[in-house]
Amino acid sequence: MATTLLEIEDLSVRLPQDQAARPILDAVSLRVAPGESVGLVGESGSGKSVTCRSVLGLLPGQAAATGRVLLDGDDVLSLPGARLRALRRKRVAMIFQDPRASINPVRRIGDFVTEGLRAGGLPYKQALERAVELLEAVGIRDPRAAVRRYPHEFSGGMLQRVMIAGALACEPDLLLADEPTTALDVTTQAEVISILARLRAARGMGMLFVTHDLELAAAICDRIYVMYAGRIVEAQDTGELFARPRHPYTSGLLAATPRLESDQPPHGIAGRPLSLAEAPAGCAFAARCPRAIERCADGTPPLEPVDRAQVACWRAQEAVHE
Ligand SMILES: Nc1ncnc2c1ncn2[C@@H]1O[C@H](COP(=O)(O)OP(=O)(O)OP(=O)(O)O)[C@@H](O)[C@H]1O
Ligand code: SF4
Ligand SMILES: [Mg+2]
């Protein structure tokens, strides 16, 4: 088995709210091997961002977490502040959904891209040279002029390329990409994804790629975890997930995805997604599931191996023999 770069084990997170603790993640486990590209897919509110941010120790204030978030064997949840900051600077980088909301508008692009390098001790001039190379690598025209510009002078797509350059500056082992292209138009989205895929492969970085778009995850990920209401409900290699989805929620997501090769119109999953706090006892997907039977209300189905997949569904074994 490949050594693991990131290993989240049984991560549960609760928020205190009006005395009663509100759960947002329940027993989430996932792995990313060095150089592997892994997708985390689910509808809004399913817990993708909280999972992703836990890797940087950035859980919501007052959240109580149990389980482990191991990065190269160190548990992020119990690291002292100084080591956590060093880890954020050197080993892990994150790209956020909305580049404009996550970059300081009054600082020059060059200052942003060189920040981690300078904090790591590289002299300003060398850091700036490195920033110019990085901006060129992500397709920014005239990078020497770009380092002197401000964020408002760039389009959303160009700014997301700048964010990627900033994330890659310290050559992290792991890149966390939290819906990095959701705010972009489709053409720009495709360009940014191809830059990300190329640079990730060239540098051998591991990546956790968060999206609500299964098709997009398939374009860039070797393996995919599907999340529903704060839990992982299915994990498979990308090709197998598309060929044989094992969880009814994954099947629903696939049916909701428009396909060029199909003459069937896409149809969405009936009902609305739930957060874990709203989920009933039993399987959280039951109210929307076309395969639900009485037994599904009997407790939360655990994530268990089914052939080469992992699936959390009481009927997953049955489906194999159908
Ligand atoms: N800082 C916070 N304070 C309170 N609740 C939060 C906070 N962050 C997340 N939550 C709650 O945790 C749950 C999971 O949120 P999360 O942001 O991880 O979802 P998501 O899958 O990333 O959704 P989206 O696709 O909309 O980004 C939601 O119910 C959300 O309301
Ligand atoms: S456990 Fe039941 S309700 Fe849940 S996904 Fe499986 S069949 Fe559907
Ligand atoms: Mg999110």
Sign of the Cα pseudo-torsion (123, 126, 132, 136, in order): negative
Q: At what angle do helices 109-119 and 124-137 cross, to 10 degrees?
A: 120
Determine the distance separating the centroid of ligand 2 and the alpha carbon of 22, expressed in angstroms. 23
H or E segment to which residue 85 belongs: helix 81-90
pLDDT at 250: 96
Residue 181: burial class (beta carbons within 10 Å; 0-12, 13-18, 19+)? buried
Residue 176 pLDDT > 60, yes or no? yes
Strand partners, 75: 70
Determine the distance separating the centroid of ligand 1 and the alpha carbon of 48, expressed in angstroms. 8
Q: At what angle do helices 109-119 and 81-90 cross, to 10 degrees?
A: 120
Q: Is the CB of 47 under 6 A from ligand 1?
A: yes
Residue 321 pLDDT > 60, yes or no? no
- Domain spans of the chain, in order of start: 6-91+172-321, 99-171
The whole-chain average pLDDT of the chain stands at 91
In 3-state terms, what secondary structure has residue 102? helix
Q: Is the CB of 24 under 6 A from ligand 1?
A: yes
Determine the distance separating the centroid of ligand 3 and the alpha carbon of 49, expressed in angstroms. 4
Tens digits of residue pLDDT in 108-157: 999 999 998 998 899 999 999 999 999 999 999 999 999 999 999 999 99
Ligand closest to the CA atom of residue 61: 1
* Residue 37 pLDDT grade (very low, low, confident, very high; cuts 50, 70, 90): very high
pLDDT at 200: 92
Determine the distance separating the centroid of ligand 2 and the alpha carbon of 56, expressed in angstroms. 33
* Rounded Cα–Cα distance for residues 115 and 131 (Å): 10
pLDDT at 19: 59
* Rounded Cα–Cα distance for residues 111 and 97 (Å): 21
Tens digits of residue pLDDT in 195-226: 999 999 999 999 999 999 999 999 999 999 99
The stretch 300-316 carries a mean pLDDT of 95
pLDDT at 268: 81
The stretch 287-309 carries a mean pLDDT of 94
Task: Using most ligand atoms within 8 A of CB, pick from 253, 289, 320 the residue to mutate for ligand 2.
Answer: 289
* Rounded Cα–Cα distance for residues 238 and 300 (Å): 25
What residues contact 158, with CB distance under 8 A and at least 6 apart? 140
Please answer whether residues 179 and 97 qualify as being in contact, where contact means their C-beta atoms are separated by less than 8 angstroms: yes
DSSP secondary structure of 211-242 = ES-HHHHHHH-SEEEEEETTEEEEEEEHHHHH
pLDDT at 260: 61
Higher pLDDT, 23 or 1: 23
Tens digits of residue pLDDT in 226-259: 999 999 999 999 999 999 999 999 999 998 877 6
The stretch 268-282 carries a mean pLDDT of 86
* Residue 35 pLDDT grade (very low, low, confident, very high; cuts 50, 70, 90): very high
Ligand 2 atom 3: residue of nearest CA? 286
Q: Is the CB of 23 under 6 A from ligand 1?
A: no
* Residue 173 pLDDT grade (very low, low, confident, very high; cuts 50, 70, 90): very high
The stretch 85-102 carries a mean pLDDT of 88
How many helices, marked H, and strands, marked E, lie in the chain?
11, 12
Residue 13 pLDDT > 60, yes or no? yes
List Cα–Cα distances, 1 to 33, 141, 303, in angstroms. Answer: 10, 42, 20
Ligand closest to the CA atom of residue 282: 2
Q: Is 229 left (phi over 0), alpha (psi -120 to 50) or beta?
A: left
* Residue 97 pLDDT grade (very low, low, confident, very high; cuts 50, 70, 90): confident
pLDDT at 1: 46
Considering only the top CATH level, what class is 6-91+172-321?
A: alpha beta
